[in-house]
Structure formats: C-alpha cells, structure tokens
Amino acid sequence: MTSHAVEGTHRPPRSVGDRVFPALVTAAGAVILVTLAGVALFLTYEGLPALTAKAADIPGADSFAAYVWPLLYGTLLASVLALLFAVPVSIGVALFISHFAPRRLASSLGYLVDLLAAVPSIIYGLWGIFFLAPRLVPLYDWLAGHLSWIPFFAGPASVTGRTILTAGFVLGVMVLPIMTSICREIFLQTPRLHEEAALALGATRWEMIRMTVFPYGRSGIVSGAMLALGRALGETIAVATILSVSNVVSLNLISSTNPGTIAANIALKFPEASGIEVNILIATGLVLFIVTFLVNFLARAIVGRRAEFSGAN
Amino acid sequence: MATQPPTSEPTTPKFTARLHSPQLPRWVPWALVAGAVAVGLALHLMVGWGWALTIVACWLGYVVVLVAVSGRVEGRRKAKDRLATSLVTTAFVLALLPLGSLLWQVVSNGLPAINSSFLNSSMRNVVGEGGGIFHALWGTLIVTSLAALMSIPIGLATGIYLVEYGNGRMARWITFLVDVMTGIPSIVAGLFAYALFVIFFGEGVRMGFGGAVALSVLMIPLVVRSTEEMLKLVPNELREASYALGVPKWRTIVKVVLPTAIAGIITGITIAIARVIGETAPLLIICGATDSVNFNPFDGRMMTLPVYIYSQYKNPGFPPEFGIERAWGAALVLTVIVMALNLVARLISYYFSPKTKA
Amino acid sequence: MAKSIDVSDLDIYYGDFLAVEGVTIPIAARSVTAFIGPSGCGKSTFLRSLNRMHEVIPGARVEGKILIDGADLYDPDVDPVEVRRQIGMVFQRPNPFPTMSIAENVLAGMRLNSRKLKKTEASEIVESSLRRANLWNEVKDRLTKPGSSLSGGQQQRLCIARAIAVQPQVLLMDEPCSALDPISTTAIEDLIHELREDYTIVIVTHNMQQAARVSETTAFFNLAGVGRPGHLIEYGPTTKIFTTPENPATEAYISGRFG
C-alpha cells in the first residue's frame, strides 16, 4: 500500500523503520476514512426507523417530512439572515485589514477578529439572550409600528426580543470571523503588479480595489460566504438559547412565534427524548449533515476551481 | 507675463497645477468627527435621544457631510473614495462592537460569582444560593484531555502521511474527507457518538468518553490541517540535506522535519483544543448533565463547563437569580480558559519557531 | 578511503521522460571532476543519480550501470540510504538544520542515525570536521549558536563540514557557490583544493572559471533542445577541454558563444 510512494523500478531493501513508520501514519489516515464512514453509517442506522415510523409516533406531525420541513425552513432562514449581516461587514473588515489599516497594525487587528471565533457559542447564547435581545425590542416595536406592511415585519413584535432576527444576528456575528479570514487571505493575494498598475493609471484607492481586488477575489468571497453558511447551518446552542421556538413556517422575523432550527431542536429535545423520538432526532441530524455537506462541498469546489484557474496564470 | 524672458516659464505652472488638484486639508475629517460627537452629546443630553439612535444618526451625518464636502472640493472620484473608506472602517468597528460588549458582559456579570467556594463545590443538593463548578471543571478537563489524547496522534500522523507519503487515490480521499469533517456540525458529532455508543451500551447511554469521541471528530480535522500546513512550510532542502547524510526517510521526518515544524504544530493543536473545549451541543447529547462530581469517563453522566452554563440558564433553580449568576460565573471561567489557550498558542509560535534564515 | 566511480551507458528517467541519455564516464579517485553545461542539460540530475538522491522524486529511475570501486550502485540489494552515507552531498543553497546548533549540525549525520558518541569523541569530530572545512577559527567560540546565525559562505562551509563528518568516500557538490559572494566562493574553492587529497569530488558548476580553477577533469553536458534528453558531449583533462576541445559544441560553449 505504501511502496508505490518513492522508489523507482527497484525494490531496494529498507530499514525496519522505513517500513513500520509509513504503515503507522497510513493507518492513522485510514482511521479517518473509517470514522467518516462510521458517522454516515451509524447515523443512517439509527435514523432509519424514523422514516418508517407510524404517524402517531411523530410528535406534532404525521410524517417525518412534515416534521423536518419547518425545522429545515427555520435553519435556512436563520442562516440566510446571518449571511445578510455577516457578508457585507466581513468584506469590509477584510478590506480594512488588508488594504486600509496601517501595515503595522494589520496583523494585530486580524488577531482581534480571530478572537471573535474563539468565544464559545454558549457564551454568545448568554450574551444574545441577556444583553442583545432586550435591547432590540424597541427596534422591533418600531419596525412593527412603521413597516408592518412588509411581511418580514408584520408583527406583533416580540416583547422579549427572542426572535429569529435576533438569532440570525448573533449567528452573523459568530460566522463573521471565518468569512473575514478567508476574504482577508484572498484580498492579500491580489497580485501586487495588478494593484500597482491600477494606481499608476491614477486610480484612487477605492477604484484600485474595484479594478483589481474584487475581480480577483470574487470566487473567494463566494466560497467564504458558503463556508460561513455551512457553519451557521450547524450552529446549535446559541440558537437553542436565544430563540423561542414554536415550529411554524412564517416570514415574520420579529414575532414571538418562530420556526426552530434542526440543530437547536435536537439540543432542546434530545436530553428528554426516548424511544422512536431519539431516532427521529437523529434522522433530522442526518438531514442537517447532508445539507451542510452539500454547502461545504460547493464551497470547496468553487475554491478548487479558482486554484486551478490561478495556477494556469 | 508674456513679456518676461525665461523660456521654461509657460510650461511649468501648467504642470504644477495638475499635481496640486484641490484636496481637503487633513484636519477636516477629524474636525467633522469632533463636530459629530458634539452634536451627538447635545442630542443625547438636551433632546433626550437614546444612545443607539444618537450614534447612528451622528455617524450618518458625519458620512454624508464628509462625502458632500469632499465632492464639492475634490470631485466625485475622491468623494467615492472617502465614502468607501468610511464604510470599510465602519464595518471594522461594527465587527468589534459585539466582541467588546460580549467580553464586558461576561466580565461584569461573571466576576461577582467567582469565589473559592464557587470553584470548589459541585451543584449537589443545591437549589438556590451556593453551589459551584467543581464537577464541571473536572468534567471538562477529563473529556477534553481524552479527546486530545485521541486526536493528536491520529491528526499528527495523518498530517505526516498526507505531506510526506501521500500521493495517489487514498491521499486524495483523505484530503477530501478531512474537508468534509471540518464541516460536520458539532451537534451531528454528538449524535454520531450517541449512535455509536447506543449499540454497545443500550438506549439512553451517557458517558464522558462518548463526549471525548464526539470532540475528537471535531478536533482531528483541525489537527490534520495545521500539521499539514506547517509541514509544507519546511523547506525541501532540509529533507534533502538529511537524506544526503544517509538518514532514512522516517528518521528524517521524526528528527529533522518535525522539530522544524513543531512550534507551529503545537500552536495549531492548542488552538484546536481551545476550539473544542467550548463545545456545548455534542456534550449535551452524549455526556448529559449532572449535579455531582464524576471522575470516571466510562460510567454515567459527566458535567462539563459549557453544558453547565447551558443548564444553569435553562434550569436556574429557585430563586432563579442565583442560577443565572452561576451561569455567568462559569462563562467567565470558560472564557478565561479559552483566551488563555489562544494566548499560549500565540506565544509558542512567537518564541519557539526556528529562525530559518539569518 | 576515496573511491573511483565508473559510469557506463546510463539513462535517467522521470516517469516516461528521458532526462539524461547514454552517459559513460570514469571518475578517478582523489581528484576533482567538474560538470559544466547549459541549464537543463541534466548535469545536476546525473550528479544526483551518483548517490541515488534523484530517487526522492517519485517516478525517477535509471538504466545502465554505476560502479563504485567495482560494486554496482543500483544492485537490487543496495539500500539507497546506505549509499548516501558513503557518498556525501553539498547543495546549491546552504541548508543547515535550523533547529540545531553549529556543533549539532556537524554531528547531524551521526546523531540522526542514532550512533552513540562519547562526549570527547563528539567534540573531536566537531573540531576536526570544522578544521577541515576551514571554519573552526571562525566558529570555535560559538559552537552552541544556531547554524542559521552564520553568514551564507560560513553556512555552506558548515554544510561541507557536516558532509565530511560522516567520512564519506565521495563528495558531490551541486553548484555549491552559486548562492555565495566572491569572497566566500574563494574560501570554498580553496577548501575543495585541500579536500581533494582525501576525497573523490564531483562538482557541478555554472561558472567555467571555477571549473578551470578547481578541477582536474571536466565533463561537458549539452542538450539538443527543450524537452530532449541531456547528453555527455565530451570529457577530459581540464586544461585540454578549455584549450583544445574536440567537439565544436564544447568550444562554442567555452568561448561563450552560447549557453
């Protein structure tokens, strides 16, 4: 398995170490293959009974699809809201660090943004529920009062602030660092020659960025957003803490009846679940796994295509 | 003018005129900032606007005035540039606001809870006041150490395999699957551990070791990635130098390549530990929650810090203030641990990286 | 200690690509042989095939024979790792191990092969190797400092000391001076002069003056075009190659008309 690696047509004698060591590290790689196969296999095995469960056994719905749909909707809605907040801000932050901040400060500022990623999600949850949510209530009141003709702000406004909009906002803060670091890296890779060519034509800094940095980094921005989306889809405990869930499908972002998310639903129900309910929750977990896998896969594919593209240059 | 004798005179002023296009003096933006702050204070103190509204309004005013003035004096292109600069800077400040407010909340709410009995007692038989995080601290220590014990060797060895030996189909598959693993939602990792252990231990299984397995699923790809990245930074010349001395490949890897990259690898591992030590969701699933100390990771529920915070918030007891205070206290302890790990990681990479070229 | 090398009809492949074709050359013991030729003509590849270093690139293989004092270098029973212990190599860019001190760098060949050394023995080897590499006087007071703290020329001499500390029979040098300034280059060339007493030295160089200065035998490599294999055009005593070469291509290269 390992001898294909280096040596030529001859099979020279090799020391014991040179036979044992590659075998060891290859085995470690194999463990990863096995683990992932295990994840897929065990989740499927434990989740399968949910698909064939009797309607009476499924709480609040008459089929698994009907059970999982509002959750999937809520998951997607919260994640899209998160991206709406995170994408513009993180592009700005990345630009600030890569092209606007003083050179000497840039890396420390980047580190500061990375600290956002280090904060455990349960602490975001506490912050969201005790600090942010109450402070957003006046805003929701105002939105419900003045913009209620927009379905998103139909109201009545939640009095606790525990809405899907709050959850989306906190998720946005949480995925900000990932997207920022990817954008920052791509922006910094913009060929210096392109930038200098633009500046030499008399472009202002902003024109230079629009002429060189954005076209070069476009696919990076897209894949960064996808990876952030993947993270937002799977985020559990912050949502479970903040959101008051009532499993509805609704466009209303500021009311106290909100769709739940798959991950938060598992976290909320699992500790007390038993019997077929456990299988149902695991099956929803499998759905979440598949969705995040697809999103991440797409993101990597975009990055991969870009790598090939720029390699040819 | 035309009667003056010097010949170069007519061309020079024309050229200099182009070099000195009208420009706002450097103090203008700062003066505008000062003005905006003054107006803001006035609105807040005299008219009685709320803080948030005042700040948003003044910021908008600042940007609009600056862009308008710049457009007047410097032209459209410059004005656009100034607008972009303001927006980008705003984005940065906007990103740091949550960090600042979050850290402030954690410290100010958590500090009153911290005392020696909070650190030294469990929640056994505590309903209202009192109690602490002793059991959760130990649980976090045990579960995270076990996860690190499993993830570091596997992740390190896989990283070595991918960089030093991997070519061909298997390596491509592993690279792909490590990418997939990086994207596994943490709750799914918890479900995986449950689905695995339920087969051996029956329904409703809860144990610390399961938590370690779940955390490993999250931690291994982080370790693989950082190992890979660091090993790729080791110049090939060093490997060749070692081969040329008649050193076998595996010894070259162990004694030359790894020592050169080790600071970076340890940094990566420390950051990975900091990442998984704050995970709540998988531990909630497979470790469960308990009020008592449990040192045995193979037997029954084991409390961990993040789950402790979550359950203190969900079931604060009576009266609830004490539970909420304990949640903040534990949040402060957890934040300090995570930040300390991050700091240690930075210091390691700063002090122990070999200086390759003089 | 020094050994002679006999190469006959050697082809070197990378996968399906034939890099060097049909090389036949005897290399005498205790002499300096220089390989010259334009970039990409395969002289470095050929040099690396002499201690089987080219094999670290996947898919590399050779056909033909290389005999070291009559023993077949590519015999299936030969361990390339053992080969490299006896045929040392110095590279284009100085590459001391950044994690090791100057002394540890010199001892690297032994330490990495986990040979147990007594303290006195170790310091003897360090001193004698560094003396041989003309570096002792410059570094004897800072042997515990990292190897990367030295200047480029000193680093390269440290690498030579590291190579000769394991007492090889042949020393291969792949453009050892191309990354160095003229003064350091002179120091290395002086060193090569002294080392020839004990070692068989093969040096690849882009610098024809250097070949003329340091070598007794010179071999000229050339290639017919990009993507074509490199060939050994001719070899002979250095004075003859540089004054009356037989092949017109050699003369053209030496007189600077191409390459």
Both tokens of B244, joined, read 């040329």
Say which CATH number the domain at B299 has: 1.10.3720.10
Mutate to test the interface with B, among C54, C91, C95, C129 (most CBs of B within 10 A): C95
The residue among A93, A92, A89, A173 whose CA lies nearest residue A131 is A173
Whether residue A228 lies inside any domain: the answer is yes
CB contact under 8 Å between C76 and A10, yes or no, is: yes
Mutate to test the interface with A, among B85, B150, B250, B308 (most CBs of A within 10 A): B250
Whether residue B8 lies inside any domain: the answer is no
The pLDDT value given to residue B69: 87
Q: Residues B123, B249: one domain?
A: yes
Q: Residues B140, B236: one domain?
A: yes
Q: Which domain, by its residues, includes A75?
A: 19-312
B316 vs B50, residue with greater confidence: B316
| Cα(A277)–Cα(A270) distance, integer angstroms | 8
**Tens of pLDDT, residues C77-92:** 888 888 898 899 999 9
The pLDDT value given to residue A11: 53
Both tokens of A121, joined, read 């999600």
**Tens of pLDDT, residues B243-291:** 999 899 999 999 999 999 999 999 999 999 999 999 999 999 999 999 9
CB contact under 8 Å between B250 and A124, yes or no, is: no
Q: Which domain, by its residues, includes B74?
A: 14-112
Q: What is the ipTM of this complex?
A: 0.89
**Tens of pLDDT, residues B139-172:** 999 999 999 999 999 999 999 999 999 888 889 8
Q: Residues B76, B184: one domain?
A: no
Whether residue B357 lies inside any domain: the answer is no
Beta-carbon contacts below 8 Å between A and B: 280
pLDDT of C41 over the 90 cut: no
Whether residue B19 lies inside any domain: the answer is yes
pLDDT of B338 over the 80 cut: yes
Looking at the DSSP assignment, which residues form a beta bridge with residue C33?
Answer: C202, C217
Shortest CA gap C207–chain B (Å): 22
Q: Residues B248, B326: one domain?
A: yes
Structural domain count, chain B:
2
Average pLDDT over residues C246-256: 88
Whether residue A14 lies inside any domain: the answer is no
Shortest CA gap C41–chain B (Å): 21
Q: Residues B64, B210: one domain?
A: no
The pLDDT value given to residue B264: 92
The residue among B338, B320, B203, B208 whose CA lies nearest residue B270 is B338
Q: Residues B196, B273: one domain?
A: yes
Say which CATH number the domain at A205 has: 1.10.3720.10
Whether residue A4 lies inside any domain: the answer is no
Q: Residues B102, B208: one domain?
A: no
Judge if the upstream peptide bond of residue A156 is cis by omega within 30 degrees of 0.
yes
Confidence of residue B4 (pLDDT cuts 50, 70, 90): low
C55: nearest CB among A6, A15, A18? A6
Outline where DSSP puts E strands in chain C.
5-14, 17-27, 32-36, 60-68, 71-72, 87-90, 170-174, 200-204, 217-223, 230-237
Structural domain count, chain A:
1
Q: Residues B332, B230: one domain?
A: yes
pLDDT of C228 over the 90 cut: no
Last-in-domain residue among B60, B93, B112: B112
| Cα(A42)–Cα(A111) distance, integer angstroms | 39
Q: Residues B71, B148: one domain?
A: no
| Cα(A262)–Cα(B185) distance, integer angstroms | 11
The pLDDT value given to residue B273: 96
CB contact under 8 Å between B328 and A126, yes or no, is: yes
Whether residue A8 lies inside any domain: the answer is no
A13: nearest CB among C56, C62, C79? C79
- Using an 8 Å CB-CB cutoff, list chain B residues near C150: 358
Q: Residues B185, B326: one domain?
A: yes
- Residue ranges of domains in chain C, CATH in brackets: 5-254 (3.40.50.300)
Q: Residues B89, B164: one domain?
A: no
What does pLDDT average to in each consecutive run of 10 residues of chain A (313 residues)?
39 75 92 88 90 82 88 94 94 92 84 86 94 90 86 83 93 92 88 89 90 88 89 92 83 85 92 89 93 88 62 33
Helix (H/G/I), strand (E/B), else coil: B308:
helix
Average pLDDT over residues B98-113: 93
Whether residue A100 lies inside any domain: the answer is yes
CB atoms within 10 A of CB B236: 11
Average pLDDT over residues C184-205: 90
Average pLDDT over residues C201-221: 92
Q: What is the 3-state secondary structure of chain A?
A: CCCCCCCCCCCCCCCHHHHHHHHHHHHHHHHHHHHHHHHHHHHHHHHHHHHCCCHHHCCCCCCHHHHHHHHHHHHHHHHHHHHHHHHHHHHHHHHHHHHHCCHHHHHHHHHHHHHHHHCCHHHHHHHHHHHHHHHHHHHHHHHHHHCCCCHHHCCCCCCCCCCHHHHHHHHHHHHHHHHHHHHHHHHHCCCHHHHHHHHHCCCCHHHHHHHHHHHHHHHHHHHHHHHHHHHHHHCCHHHHHHCCECCCCCCCCCCCCECCCHHHHHHHHHHHCCCHHHHHHHHHHHHHHHHHHHHHHHHHHHHHHHHHHHHHC
